[in-house]
Amino acid sequence: MIVTIGGIAAHELADTFGTPLYAFDGDRIRQRVRALQSAVPGHRPKLFYSIKAHPSVAILRLLSDLGVGGDACSPGDLAYAARAGLHGDEITYAAVSFPTGDRDALIDTGGFLIADAPAQLTMYAQRTEHRRDVGLRVSPSITAGFHPLVQAGARGSKFGVAPSAVRSVVCKARQLGLRVTCLHVHLGSDVASPMSHVAALELVLKLATVDAPDVSIIDLGGGWPVPFATFDAGNHYPPASPSDSYLLAEMGEQVRTRLDRFRAATGRPIKLRFEPGAYLVMDAGFLITRVTDLKRPETGFDSPRPMAIIDSSYSHLFSAVIHNTFHEALVDGSSGRPLVHQDVGGHLMQAGDILARDRLLPALEVGDVIVFVKAGAYKASQASVFNGRPRPAEVLVDRGVARLVRRRETVADLVRFEAHGDAVPEDSRLGD
Ligand SMILES: Cc1ncc(COP(=O)(O)O)c(C=O)c1O
């Protein structure tokens, strides 16, 4: 099997850029953008890529060329957006914490605030240069998302204001000289059924009818699941199959009906916004690793199966451990080898650092390139340097060309921020 990413073999990428390496397929990202932009007949949702999924200036630029803005949640996200040339209406901002420094960073970009709580409105209004229009995040009490840790819309979650409080928060905004023009609801990641998004839409449209009469924008957040796909020998993915539980077309039709009904009843057209993260980049991103060692039962390894050790770990595939996500492992250039049940272990000094367990893979050898799929969202962004292992480089493969878009961290980077000896500035001490 030759594993290709955007038409380039994984082993070529590994040889040229080194491993471990995140590689992204630009065309796959574009396909996803088009699918979501055209999902609702008669409406064109404005997409804001959720930067937290994978902050990358290169990907933000690629998306910006397609009319996609950025959904930020921190000054760091805003810095990525600014580097990619986004500002003003191309930025939307929703955060659970909003200290003055974060507020100032947002106002400097001209981005659009989605307030998570009334206190954020007060804080926002204290600076005079702010925009007048703001959004408000609603807590829908809808349980959706693939794991309890990501079910942001469930009852009792820390985000947003209760539907019953919307009217009073809208009044408070008015008193502060602000206008709530957008209601926002984000359910969670990997929402299984379109009807969950539709239920969220119905809730905010109801609120917009009476409690929030200035609303002209509904932002349904993110959570569009990555279509189920298997991989053929050329590592080509079929398009979303009818067996996918989440049908975009069904969501689109149901959303269209509700928006049109709302317009007929109120005379108010609604602009729709989505904030996809994983849907755009999850399976456009791959983690390319190399086998560095082999452990075999016949040479004293206390296991019924051989284990290949790679130069990467769960630090680079974070959710595999914390959310138990499954990542298919593809072995590049392994045609003709017998298939053997094997494990793949990471290089961390931690027993649980196993990236593939009891998988039927071609008999692995030192030097083999193993590619983990669905590594594009919430992996690099949550990667750590645990055990003194610098974070991988990133490449974007686009239109047949692979380009380094983030350099590999080095060991020197790891110690760069140590404040020690002569390097300690005068104002970094207390009590001398
Ligand atoms: C407010 C908000 N919008 C959008 C997203 C993106 O979610 P997903 O990557 O599941 O599409 C998130 C993820 O945490 C979020 O918190």
Q: What is the pTM of this model?
A: 0.94
Ligand 1, residue 145: give the atom nearest the CA: 10
Ligand 1 midpoint to CA 419 (Å):
35
The residue that leads in pLDDT, 319 or 374, is 374
More confident residue, 356 or 147: 356
Q: What is the DSSP letter of 158?
A: S
Cα(155) to ligand 1 centroid in Å equals 17
- Asked if pLDDT for residue 124 goes beyond 90, the answer is yes
pLDDT of residue 356: 92
Contact predicate 153/137, CB 8 Å: no
β-pairing, 393-398 vs 21-25, is parallel
Span from the CA of 263 to the centroid of ligand 1 (angstroms): 27
Q: Quick one: pLDDT at residue 234? A: 44
E runs forming strands in 189-338: 217-219, 271-274, 285-295, 307-310, 329-332
Task: State yes or no: pLDDT of 289 exceeds 80.
Answer: yes
Model confidence band, residue 1 (pLDDT cutoffs 50, 70, 90): confident
Q: Does 417 score more than 50 pLDDT?
A: yes
User: What band does 325 get if pLDDT is binned at 50, 70 and 90?
Assistant: confident
Q: How far is the CA of 223 from the centre of ligand 1 (A)?
A: 6
Mean pLDDT computed over every residue of the chain = 92
Give the C-alpha separation, 65 to 423, whole Å.
Answer: 43
Ligand 1 atom nearest the C-alpha of 152 is: 16
The rounded Å distance from CA 187 to ligand 1 centre is: 8
Minimum CA distance residue for ligand 1 atom 5: 222
Q: Which of 28-32, 59-63, 319-323 has the lowest mean pLDDT?
A: 319-323
Q: What is the dihedral of CA 406, 24, 50, 278, to 10 degrees?
A: -140
Give the mean pLDDT of 182-197. Answer: 93
Q: 227 — alpha (psi -120 to 50), left (phi > 0) or beta?
A: beta
CA distance 90 to 67: 9
Give mean pLDDT, residues 196-202: 96
Q: What does the pLDDT average to over 50-57?
A: 98
The pLDDT tens digits for 214-247 are: 999 999 999 998 876 554 444 444 444 444 566 8
Alpha carbon 66 to its chain centroid, in Å, reads 18
Give the pLDDT score at 245. Answer: 60
Q: Cis (ω within 30 of 0) for the bond into 225? A: no
Q: Average pLDDT, stretch 2-31?
A: 96
Sign of CA dihedral 294, 296, 299, 303: positive
Taken as a whole, the chain contains a residue count of 432
| pLDDT value of position 68 | 98
Would you tell me the crossing angle of helices 166-175 and 118-125 to the nearest 10 degrees? 10
Please tell me the least confidently modeled range out of 44-48, 324-328, 352-356.
324-328
148 vs 85, which has greater pLDDT?
85
The pLDDT tens digits for 298-308 are: 999 999 999 99
> How far apart, in Å, do the first and last CA atoms of the chain sit?
64
Q: Which amino acid is at 275?
A: E
Of the candidates 98, 68, 100, which has an alpha carbon nearest to the alpha carbon of residue 84? Answer: 68
In testing the pocket of ligand 1, which one of 51, 186, 323, 382 has its CB within 8 Å of the most ligand atoms?
Answer: 186
Residue, of 278 and 422, whose pLDDT is higher: 278
Out of 18-32, 66-80, 279-293, 407-421, least confident range: 407-421
**Beta carbons of 109 and 191 less than 8 angstroms apart:** no
Residue 423 has pLDDT above 70, yes or no: no
The predicted pLDDT at position 430 comes to 81
Q: Which residues sit opposite 404 in a β-bridge?
A: 395
Task: Give DSSP secondary structure letters for 25-43.
Answer: EHHHHHHHHHHHHTSSTT-
Average pLDDT of 120-127?
95
Please give the pLDDT value at position 424: 65
Q: What pLDDT shows up at residue 239?
A: 46
Ligand 1 atom closest to Cα of residue 378 = 9
Count of beta carbons in the 10 Å neighbourhood of residue 184 = 25
DSSP code per residue over 170-221 = HHHHHHTT-EEEEEE----SS---HHHHHHHHHHHHHHHHHT-TT--EEE--
Contact 22, 42 (CB under 8 A): no
Q: What is the pLDDT of residue 39?
A: 94
As beta bridge partners, residue 60 has none
pLDDT average, residue stretch 391-401: 97
